[in-house]
Amino acid sequence: MESRTLAEATTNGHTITVFGGTGFVGSRIVRHLSNHQFPVRIASRHPDRGHRQPGAEKPQLQFVEANIHDARSVADALIGAYGAINAVSLYRERGTETFHSVHVEAAQRVAAEAHRAGVKRLVHVSGIGADAAAPSRYVRKRGEGERAVRAEFRDAYLIRPAVMFGLDDAFLNTILNLLRRLPIYPMFGRGQTRLQPVYVEDVAEAVARLMARAETHPTIFEFGGPTPYSYEQLLRAIAHQAGFAPLLIPVPFVVWHALAWASEMLPAPPLAPHQVELMQIDTVPSPKMAGFAELGISPHSIEEILQRMLSGDESGAPANPP
């Protein structure tokens, strides 16, 4: 990293380095940080992707190449940074990219290098249900990652969003496409798993406000939308909003596990075993945890965003005012 560029990027002492800043949630976090007038250093293995995103031309944005699996690379991206955000996530394992290597080892590496670099504030994006003792490997590695982060950077904020949705997500759009194509919709189990989907822009605004707030008390935040649903209720709400009337058919989880196991033999598996496991776990925020209310944010409903999507409004919901 050239010293001249680095000096220009850190002139006010409040530059925020965002790892995974070109991803689904990371790119939103970058935009909201920018809206809060933070200079942002976007650290990614593919920084060229960031240049193609809306708003990439803003002078307070700096794109740097960084690999979270390499300590020197991480350290370079943190030079002079006031804050750091780890928004890197992995939803499907491929080769050496495993839940352990990304959610535990890399998370620990970012936290350790942030502490070594004198970073004042670290935000680690995890997920609701993270538990180092969980039977699901995905959930367990999320929990182990949180422990590893706190061991290296004890004042880190841990952020646990529920399943996130947005205009270009893989959650809401997938359900919509399936409802559009399938008059008979197979549900996971009896559709009783509880979910509280959260708008990705609300999560991004929450992270930006954590960076801007004066208090530095380390805590865990759990973020969910305004309404909890059973899986069946969620499907019916989405179908109603979109004008569909599907027949929802319960399919036992043992069948889904068999399908997921069989699909692993395909070049591009449509369903992974851990995805089936996650659909057996309730993912709603705990009332005992801090949430949007502590940050003055009123979360947007899935119906509101879905209505904008169906009407062709690509701007998304209006942001919560700072």
Residue-by-residue DSSP string for 19-76: ETTTSHHHHHHHHHHHHTT--EEEEES-HHHHHTSTTTT-TTEEEEE--TT-HHHHHH
> What pLDDT, on a 0 to 100 scale, did the predictor assign at position 265?
83
Average pLDDT, integer, range 160-183: 92
**Cα–Cα nearest to 318, from 217, 199, 226:** 199
> How many CB atoms are located within 10 Å of the residue 176 CB?
18
How far is residue 211's CA from residue 203's CA, in Å, rounded to a whole number? 13
> What pLDDT, on a 0 to 100 scale, did the predictor assign at position 219?
87
Instruction: Answer for the pair 148, 182: CB distance below 8 angstroms, yes or no.
Output: no
What pLDDT digit, counting tens, does each position of 235-248 carry?
999 999 999 999 99
Query: Please, which pLDDT band fits residue 177 given cuts at 50, 70 and 90?
Result: very high
What pLDDT digit, counting tens, does each position of 189-214 carry?
999 999 999 999 999 999 999 999 87
Please give the model's pTM, rounded to 2 decimal places.
Answer: 0.90
**What is the residue extent of each domain of the chain?**
3-162+198-224+284-299
Is the pLDDT at 175 greater than 60, yes or no? yes
Query: Please, which pLDDT band fits residue 313 given cuts at 50, 70 and 90?
Result: low
**Cα–Cα nearest to 282, from 218, 224, 201, 199:** 224
Average pLDDT, integer, range 98-104: 96
Give the architecture-level CATH label for domain 3-162+198-224+284-299: 3-Layer(aba) Sandwich (3.40)
> What pLDDT, on a 0 to 100 scale, did the predictor assign at position 52?
53
Opening angle at CA 130, ends 195 and 139, nearest 5: 90
Query: Please, which pLDDT band fits residue 94 given cuts at 50, 70 and 90?
Result: confident
Can you name the residues that pair with 188 across neighbouring β-strands?
Answer: 251
Can you name the residues that pair with 189 across neighbouring β-strands?
Answer: 251
Is the pLDDT at 7 greater than 70, yes or no? no
How far is residue 259's CA from residue 263's CA, in Å, rounded to a whole number? 6
> What pLDDT, on a 0 to 100 scale, did the predictor assign at position 59?
62
**Cα–Cα nearest to 219, from 85, 119, 122:** 122
Torsion of Cα atoms, 141 then 145 then 147 then 148, to 10°: 130
Class of residue 79 by CB neighbours under 10 A (exposed 0-12, middle 13-18, buried 19+): middle
Is the pLDDT at 11 greater than 80, yes or no? no
What pLDDT digit, counting tens, does each position of 20-73 carry?
999 999 999 999 999 999 999 999 887 666 555 555 556 679 999 999 999 999
H or E stretch including 160? Answer: strand 157-161
What amino acid is encoded at 139 in this protein? Answer: V
Show Cβ contacts of residue 295 under 8 Å, excluding neighbours closer than 6 positions: 206, 209, 210, 213, 221
Is the pLDDT at 215 greater than 80, yes or no? no
Instruction: Answer for the pair 296, 229: CB distance below 8 angstroms, yes or no.
Output: no
> What pLDDT, on a 0 to 100 scale, did the predictor assign at position 1?
41
Average pLDDT, the chain: 89
**Cα–Cα nearest to 138, from 23, 277, 261:** 277
Q: Which two tokens stand for residue 233?
A: 């209720």
Lowest-confidence region among 13-22, 95-104, 212-221: 212-221
Q: Is pLDDT larger for residue 312 or for residue 185?
A: 185
Please report where in the chains the tokens 């991004």 appear, as a residue: 204
What amino acid is encoded at 173 in this protein? Answer: N
**Cα–Cα nearest to 79, from 20, 131, 17:** 17
> What pLDDT, on a 0 to 100 scale, did the predictor assign at position 4?
34
